[in-house]
Structure 1
Amino acid sequence: MKQLPSLDELRDWLAQNPGSGVREIARAFGIKGPMRRELRPLTDALADEGLLPRRRANARDMGRLPPVAVLEITGPDDAGDLFATPVEARLEGMTPRILVVTGPRDGALGAGDRVLARLQEVRAPDHDYQARPIRKLGTNPARVLGIFRAGSQGGRITPIDKGADREWIVPAGETGGAQDGELVEAQALGRASMGLPRAKVTDRLGDPGAPKAVSLIAIHQHGIRDHFPDTVVAEADAMTPAGPEGREDLTGLPLMTIDPADARDHDDAIAVLPDDDPGNDGGFVIWVAIADVAHYVRPGSELDREARMRGNSTYFPDRVVPMLPDRLSGDLCSLHEGVDRACMAVRMVIDARGVKLAHRFVRGVMRSRASLTYGQAQAAEDGRHDAQTEPLAAEIGALFAAYRALRAARAQRQPLDLDLPERRIELSEDGRVASVAFRERLDAHRLVEEFMVLANVAAAEELVRRRSPLLFRVHEEPSPEKLDALREVAVASGFTLAKGQVLQTRHLNNLLAQAEGTEFDELINISTLRSMTQAYYAPQNFGHFGLALRAYAHFTSPIRRYADLIVHRALIAAHGWGDDGLARSDTERLEETATLISEAERRSMAAERDTNDRYLAAFLADRIGDELSGRVSGVTRYGLFIKLDETGADGLVPVRSLGDEYFRHDAETQQLVGERSGVVFGLGQRAVVKLAEAEPETGGLVLELLEIEGQAVVRSRARPGRRGAVGRKAGKLRAGKAKAQRKAERKRRG
Structure 2
Amino acid sequence: MKRGKRSKKNIRERGAERTPKAKKSFSGKKPAAAPAGKPREKSAIIYGLATQIGRAWQLKPVTRKDNNTYTIIDAKKHPLSEGDIIRAVITGEAKGRNQNVVFGAKIGHQDDPGVFHVLATLSLELPNEFSAATLAEAAQGKVPELGRRRDLREVPLVTIDDIDAKDFDDAVYAEKSGAGWRLIVAIADVAHYVAAGSALDKEAFIRGNSVYFPGHVIPMLPERLSNDMCSLRPHTPRAALCCEMQLDNAGKIKSWEFYRALIRSAARLTYRQVQDAIDGRTDETTAPIMETVITPLHQCFQSLLKARVARGTLDLDLPEYKVMFDDLGRAVDIHKRTRLDSHKLIEEMMIAANVCAAKELNKRNAPALYRVHDAPDPVKLEFARDILNTMGFKLVKGAPQPRDFMQILNQAKDHLEAPLINQVILRTQSQAVYSPMHGGHFGLALTHYTHFTSPIRRYSDLIVHRALINALNIDRQDMPTAGVLSEIAIHINVTERRAIEAERQVMDRYRAMMLTGQEGHIFSVRINGISRFGAFVTIDASGADGIIPMRYLGRDYLIWQEGKPYLANRGGKAVYRLGQILNAKLIEVSPISGGLVFEVVNKSSDSAEIPRKPLRTGGASVKSGQRKFRRPKK
TM range (shorter): 0.7 to 0.9
Measured after TM superposition, the shift of residue 485 of structure 1 is 1.0
Cα 1:403–1:169 change in 2 (3 A) is same
Measured after TM superposition, the shift of residue 150 of structure 1 is 8.3
Give secondary structure in 2 for the equivalent of 1:692.
Answer: strand
Q: Deviations over 1:599-644 (max 9, x none)?
A: 1111111111111111111111122111111211222221111111
Matched, 1:392 2:296: no
- Residue 545 of structure 2 corresponds to 650
- Residue 466 of structure 2 corresponds to 569
- 8 A Cα contact 1:154 1:174, kept in partner: no
Amino acid at match of 1:337: P
Q: Deviations over 1:406-438 (max 9, x none)?
A: 111111001102122222221222333322222
Match of 2:259 among 353, 358, 362: 362
Measured after TM superposition, the shift of residue 179 of structure 1 is 3.3
Match of 1:429 among 327, 336, 340: 327
- Residue 25 of structure 2 corresponds to none
Give secondary structure in 2 for the equivalent of 1:628.
Answer: strand
**TM-score of the two chains, using structure 2 as the length reference:** 0.86
1:510-549 pair list within 5 angstroms: 510-549=407-446
Matched, 1:438 2:336: yes
Cα 1:401–1:704 change in 2 (3 A) is same
- Residue 240 of structure 2 corresponds to 343
CA distance in 2, matches of 1:666, 1:582: 55
Match of 2:534 among 634, 639, 649: 639
Larger deviation, residues 659-668 vs 459-468: 659-668
- Residue 299 of structure 2 corresponds to 401
**TM-score of the two chains, using structure 1 as the length reference:** 0.73
CA distance in 2, matches of 1:194, 1:637: 23
Matched, 1:462 2:342: no
Cα 1:664–1:437 change in 2 (3 A) is same
Structure 1 unmatched runs, 5+: 1-106, 114-135, 276-280, 713-725, 739-750
CA distance in 2, matches of 1:643, 1:336: 40
Amino acid at match of 1:566: I
Larger deviation, residues 165-174 vs 643-652: 165-174
Measured after TM superposition, the shift of residue 677 of structure 1 is 6.7
CA distance in 1, matches of 2:271, 2:250: 25
Matched, 1:678 2:573: yes
- 8 A Cα contact 1:150 1:179, kept in partner: no
Q: Deviations over 1:106-140 (max 9, x none)?
A: x99xxxx9xxxxxxxxxxxxxxxxxxxxxx84256
- 8 A Cα contact 1:488 1:668, kept in partner: no
- 8 A Cα contact 2:566 2:574, kept in partner: no
- 8 A Cα contact 1:690 1:705, kept in partner: yes
- Residue 241 of structure 1 corresponds to 143
CA distance in 1, matches of 2:424, 2:383: 9
- Residue 11 of structure 1 corresponds to none
CA distance in 1, matches of 2:560, 2:617: 18
Give secondary structure in 2 for the equivalent of 1:529.
Answer: helix
Give secondary structure in 2 for the equivalent of 1:590.
Answer: helix
- Residue 15 of structure 1 corresponds to none
Larger deviation, residues 445-454 vs 538-547: 538-547
Matched, 1:706 2:604: no
Cα 1:697–1:704 change in 2 (3 A) is same
1:451-530 pair list within 5 angstroms: 451-500=349-398, 502-530=399-427
1:572-591 pair list within 5 angstroms: 572-579=469-476, 581-584=477-480, 587-591=482-486
CA distance in 2, matches of 1:566, 1:366: 22
- Residue 381 of structure 1 corresponds to 278
Cα 1:237–1:492 change in 2 (3 A) is same
- Residue 551 of structure 1 corresponds to 448
- Residue 179 of structure 1 corresponds to 80
CA distance in 2, matches of 1:644, 1:158: 25
Give secondary structure in 2 for the equivalent of 1:225.
Answer: coil
Measured after TM superposition, the shift of residue 675 of structure 1 is 2.9
Match of 2:191 among 270, 294, 297: 294
Cα 1:141–1:363 change in 2 (3 A) is same
- Residue 165 of structure 1 corresponds to 67
Amino acid at match of 1:362: Y
CA distance in 2, matches of 1:172, 1:398: 68
CA distance in 2, matches of 1:178, 1:545: 55
Structure 2 unmatched runs, 5+: 1-33, 619-634
Cα 1:548–1:195 change in 2 (3 A) is closer
- 8 A Cα contact 1:268 1:557, kept in partner: yes
Measured after TM superposition, the shift of residue 475 of structure 1 is 1.1
Matched, 1:147 2:42: no
- 8 A Cα contact 1:145 1:185, kept in partner: yes
- Residue 614 of structure 2 corresponds to 734
CA distance in 2, matches of 1:366, 1:139: 50
Matched, 1:232 2:137: no
- 8 A Cα contact 1:566 1:582, kept in partner: no
Give secondary structure in 1 for the equivalent of 2:587.
Answer: strand
- 8 A Cα contact 1:643 1:650, kept in partner: yes
- Residue 517 of structure 2 corresponds to 622
Matched, 1:312 2:209: yes
CA distance in 2, matches of 1:370, 1:184: 46
- 8 A Cα contact 2:158 2:265, kept in partner: yes
Give secondary structure in 1 for the equivalent of 2:66.
Answer: coil
CA distance in 2, matches of 1:323, 1:310: 6
CA distance in 2, matches of 1:262, 1:271: 22
Measured after TM superposition, the shift of residue 299 of structure 1 is 1.4
Give secondary structure in 2 for the equivalent of 1:387.
Answer: coil
- 8 A Cα contact 2:572 2:616, kept in partner: no
Larger deviation, residues 449-458 vs 502-511: 502-511
- Residue 12 of structure 1 corresponds to none
Task: Say which structure, 1 or 2, has more relative contact order (CA 8 Å, 6+ apart).
Answer: 2
Q: Deviations over 1:302-346 (max 9, x none)?
A: 111111111111111120111111000010110000111111110
Of the two, which has the highest radius of gyration? Answer: 1
Match of 1:267 among 156, 160, 169: 169
RMSD: 2.8
- Residue 204 of structure 1 corresponds to 106
- Residue 223 of structure 1 corresponds to 125
- 8 A Cα contact 1:269 1:288, kept in partner: yes
Measured after TM superposition, the shift of residue 209 of structure 1 is 2.1
Measured after TM superposition, the shift of residue 663 of structure 1 is 2.9
Q: Percent identity?
A: 38
Larger deviation, residues 524-533 vs 158-167: 158-167
